[in-house]
Amino acid sequence: MSTKVPEVPAQLPRSFDRPDEPWYRYLNIDLIFYVLSYTLFHPWTSWILVLCLRAQYTPYENIEMRIAMAWAMLMSAIGIFGIFSERIAFGQPREVDLSEEVIVVTGGVDGLGGLLAETYGMRHANVAVLDAKKISEDEAEAKGVVYYECDVGDAAQVEDAVKQIVEDLGAPTILINNAGIVHPKSIIDSTAEEVERVFRTNTFSHFNTLRAVLPHMLREQRGTIVTVSSALGHLGAANLSSYAASKAALHALHRTLCAELAQNPKARDIKTILVSPGQMSTTMFAKVKTPSNFFAPVIAPTEVAKEILRLIEKGQSGEVTAPFYTSWVSAFGVLPHGVQALLRKWSGVDTAIASAGLVKETANEKSR
C-alpha cells in the first residue's frame, strides 16, 4: 500500500529580483579593517610571521626579522593596553544567565529593537517589549515575546507597564532603550508639538524607564542598561534638528548614568552600553544615500544587534560604533573649523535629507 507524500508549499528566495551589483560595491573600509584586525593587526598572527621566518632559518639580525619582531611586539603591547584600559574603565564583567534575566526593550516591535527582542524570544528568554504599536496575541506568542502597549514618553504609563512586567516576568535586569522617532523638518518649520514629541520619545523615555527599572536592578545588584543613540548626536544635520539634539542628550545622559552608578556600591554589577551607529538600513532613513559606499556604508541592523548581544551576554560595559567611521565621529569637533566645513560639504550630511525628499514628508512620521 503506497502512501502519498504531502506537498508542503514553500517560497524560495528570488535572487533575480535584486539588481546585480558589481563586486566592488561590497568592498568598503569596514570590510578591509575587519580583515586586517584578524591578520596584520592581530598579535597572534603577527607572531606567526616571526615563527615562519625562523622556520626558514632567518637570522635574528636580518632586517626583515627585526621588523617582524618589532611589529609583533607593538601589536601585543596595543592588545594588552586595550585589555587593561577596558578593565579600568568598565570593571570586571558580570555573570549573565538568560534564564534568570528579564529583558525590557523599548520600541521593540520593528527595526533594531524588534530584531533584538525577537532574537531573545527565539532563545526562550523572558522578553518584554514596550511600544505604542499594537501586536496580536498570536504574533506575540509566535515570537516568544510579551508586548505591552505603552507610550514610553509618558512616565505614568511606563511605571504601570514596569509594575505589570514585575508581576508577569519578574524584576527587569536588562533594559534596552531603543525607542526613537524623527520629524525631518528645519528648525523654523518645526512646531512645538513635534519637537516635544521627538524629545518625549527619544530622550524623556530614557529617564522614564531608568526611574522605573533601575531601582529593581539595584535591589538585584545586577543589570545591563543599553542606550541607543546615534552618530548624528555628535554631528548634527540640517533638517534633523530635533532628532540630532535628542540623540546628543543621550550621550550626556549615558556619561552621567555611568558616573552615578560608579558611586553606588550596589551598582558594581550594573553594566552600561552606549550604541552610536551610523546610517542603518531601517525604514527611518530608507531613502537617504551616503556620500561614499566605501567610507560610509549603510550598515545592516543585524551587525549592530550582533555587537549589542555580544556585550550583553558577556556581561560587559562598552560602546558599539558601526560602521568604522563612527568610532572617530566624537573627535570631529576638535578638528579645525575649516576642515570641519570641508568634511561636512563633502559628506553631504546637511543635504542628504532634502536630497532624499524626506523634508516634504512631514505628515508621515518615520518610526524606527
SS3 134: coil
One-letter amino acid at 337 equals H
Residue type, 171: A
Classify burial at 351, counting beta carbons within 10 Å of its beta carbon; exposed 0-12, middle 13-18, buried 19 or more: middle
In this predicted model, what pLDDT tens digit does every residue of 130-167 receive, in sequence order?
999 988 888 999 999 999 999 999 999 999 999 999 99
181: left (phi over 0), alpha (psi -120 to 50) or beta: beta
- The residues near 25 (Cβ < 8 Å, ≥ 6 apart) are 293
Identify the pLDDT of residue 4. 54
Q: Is the pTM of this model over 0.85?
A: yes
The total number of residues shown for the chain amounts to: 368
Neighbours of 306 (CB within 10 A): 14
Distance of CA 324 to the CA centre of its chain: 13
Q: Average pLDDT by consecutive 10-residue portion of the chain (368 residues)? A: 50 50 80 92 94 92 95 96 93 94 95 95 95 90 94 96 96 97 93 96 98 97 97 94 96 97 96 95 83 86 95 96 91 92 90 82 46
Q: Tell me the one-letter amino acid at 133.
A: K
* Residue whose C-alpha cell is 527595526: 111
For residue range 234-252, list pLDDT tens digits in order.
Answer: 999 999 999 999 999 999 9
3-state secondary structure 280-316: ECCHHHCCCCCCCCCCCCCECHHHHHHHHHHHHHHCC
